[in-house]
């Protein structure tokens, strides 16, 4: 073969060999690249959007807070609630003093608060350790809370209505005085029945989740929003409107009167309203914000979520204080009831005769003008 004629052939062969080497080299580089950067399009289509992944919000600090905060306050509230309400109930039965509508409502209010106070040790245990008492006890604990809650709010409303008629509408109230006690007993039975009906969701949807007794676990957001909204309306907004109207009219009536004790009675009314607002407003604000977040599909701000949990825990304990404050605000503050309580303590041997006369004789004379059956709650 002639070398001149072979040159083009050799050049062509050289070019083909170089192209083959380059192709092999590019394939090796591509193979090396794929070992480092995976092509996700082969598996998931478009490139993944990491913004859609949910970041877990850590709530460990809130759990640690509950371990000491809840049992401490539940224990204090339980002790004071049992003490105060048992004294109220003993005084009512010892002196047989169910003579007015307010007396009947106060007795039922003490039973409701006592019932709730008895459930608080179970609430404390649920916040500290795993729930080991079964589903029936779990449902009973939450149901007792809701029944006592709704009955207390409705009874407080009835007390304000009774005081409204006794003070602002004294003539008509005195005319129907003989039927008042019977009507208060019937209305109290209706209140307990309504409280039980309002608590049906708690009976139905409370369950044990992750070894903790909790309500509405796994239920739809729409159901949770409906139940919590009804609680805010029936257990806070409605009693607040009723109490606000009745007590505002009562204050206006007392301001027009010339009684020497009217200023003390007005102060008592302000104390009643202040205690109600202090205990109920913060918790209902926290409950409203929680309901709003649930209605909007949740909150992505972890700091806000944790802060709302802290606020709910603290304000709930504040709301629970009602079971131990009600006896002092609605019963012990009245002249007649306070005198009966001191006499009960004397008869039980808890107070000496000398101390009893010291506490009662000096005050009965100054309060004689308001020591009547129609002013039991507002007597200083």
Q: Does pLDDT of 25 surpass 70? A: no
* pLDDT of the residue at 263: 67
- More reliable by pLDDT, 41 or 205: 205
pLDDT class of 286 with cuts at 50, 70, 90: very high
Sorted by where each begins, the domain ranges of the chain are 72-333
What is the overall mean pLDDT for the chain?
77
pLDDT, average across residues 254-281: 79
Specify the CATH number of the domain 72-333.
Answer: 1.20.1070.10
Q: Does pLDDT of 182 surpass 70? A: yes
**What is the Cα–Cα distance from 131 to 136, expressed in whole angstroms?**
11
**What is the Cα–Cα distance from 278 to 169, expressed in whole angstroms?**
29
Q: Directed axis angle between helix 238-256 and helix 134-163, to 10°?
A: 30
Specify the pairing of strand 207-209 against strand 212-214. Answer: antiparallel
Which residue is listed with tokens 């131990």?
Answer: 324
Half-sphere exposure of 173 (CA within 13 A, CB side): 17
- Name every residue whose Cβ is closer than 8 Å to that of residue 4 and which is 6 or more positions away in sequence: none
Q: Which tens digits make up the pLDDT trace of 90-108?
A: 888 888 777 788 889 989 9
- pTM listed for this prediction: 0.77
Least confident of 116-125, 272-281, 344-353: 344-353
* pLDDT of the residue at 195: 94
Assign 371 to helix, strand or coil. coil
């Amino acid at each position: 073969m002639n070398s001149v004629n072979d040159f083009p052939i050799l050049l062509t062969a050289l070019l083909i060999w170089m192209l083959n080497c380059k192709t092999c080299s590019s394939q090796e580089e591509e193979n090396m690249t794929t070992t480092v950067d995976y092509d996700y399009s082969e598996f998931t289509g478009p490139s993944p959007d990491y913004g859609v992944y949910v970041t877990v919000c850590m709530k460990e600090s809130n759990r640690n807070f509950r371990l000491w905060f809840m049992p401490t306050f539940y224990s204090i509230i339980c002790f004071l609630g049992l003490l105060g309400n048992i004294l109220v109930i003993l005084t009512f039965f010892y002196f047989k003093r169910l003579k007015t509508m307010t007396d009947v409502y106060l007795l039922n209010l003490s039973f409701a608060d006592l019932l709730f106070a008895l459930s608080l040790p179970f609430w404390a245990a649920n916040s500290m350790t795993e729930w080991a008492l079964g589903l029936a006890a779990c449902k009973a604990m939450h149901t007792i809370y809701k029944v006592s809650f709704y009955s207390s709010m409705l009874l407080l409303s009835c007390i304000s209505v009774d005081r409204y008629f006794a003070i602002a509408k004294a003539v008509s109230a005195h005319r129907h005085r003989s039927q008042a006690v019977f009507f208060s007993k019937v209305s109290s039975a209706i209140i307990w029945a309504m409280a039980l009906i309002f608590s049906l969701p708690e009976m139905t949807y409370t369950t044990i989740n992750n070894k903790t007794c909790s309500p509405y676990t796994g239920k739809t957001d729409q159901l949770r929003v409906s139940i919590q909204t009804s609680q805010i309306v029936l257990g806070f907004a409605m009693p607040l409107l009723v109490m606000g109207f009745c007590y505002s009219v009562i204050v206006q009536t007392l301001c027009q009167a010339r009684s020497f004790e009217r200023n003390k009675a007005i102060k008592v009314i302000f104390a009643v309203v202040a205690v109600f607002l202090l205990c109920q407003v913060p918790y209902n604000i926290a409950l409203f914000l929680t309901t709003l977040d649930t209605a909007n599909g949740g909150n992505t701000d972890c700091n806000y979520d944790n802060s709302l949990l802290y606020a709910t825990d603290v304000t709930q304990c504040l709301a629970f204080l009602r079971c131990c404050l009600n006896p002092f605000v609605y019963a012990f503050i009245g002249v007649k009831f306070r005198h009966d309580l001191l006499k009960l303590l004397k008869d039980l041997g808890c107070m000496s005769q000398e101390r009893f006369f010291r506490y009662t004789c000096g005050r009965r004379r100054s309060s004689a003008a308001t020591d009547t059956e129609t002013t039991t709650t507002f007597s200083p």
